[in-house]
Amino acid sequence: MPAKAKTKTVRRKIKIRKGDTVRVICGKDRGKEGEVLTVDPKKGKVSVAKINLMKKAVRPDPQKNPQGGVIELPAPMDVSNVQLICPRCSKTARVTYMKDKEGRTSRKCRKCGELIDG
């Protein structure tokens, strides 16, 4: 009997959260900054406002878009293509995890030492 191949799921911890400001470091939108709209930890993808836009054809929708046509949506991209920007020092920041008194995990900027999650 052949041994069952175990698939190891590598969990990369995503240090970016919804609402963070990030800078794009790869691709056509390199150097741009934007707010994180969605985070997909399973796929390791994030989508950022006005970054990596893709055109999508939509049917007319009386509430959202009565004309229909083509709209632009941010497409998810790999989390390794973006860097978190520290809201305190406004620089691309490496973060470490800290536990606060209540046991919650907060992120701390390694550059300025400030907690990113207020």
Choose the binding region for Zn ion from 1-9, 25-33, 39-47, 110-118 (rule: CB under 5 A): 110-118
Rank residues 35 and 75 by Cβ distance to Zn ion and give the closer one.
35
Which residue is associated with the tokens 């400001």? 21
**Residue count, binding to Zn ion (CB under 5 A):** 7
Options 9-17, 66-74, 85-93, 98-106: segment touching Zn ion (CB under 5 A):
85-93
Nearer to Zn ion by C-beta: 21 or 75? Answer: 21
- Residue 88 makes contact with Zn ion by CB under 5 A: yes
60-to-63, 65, 70, 86 alpha-carbon distances in Å: 9, 6, 10, 40
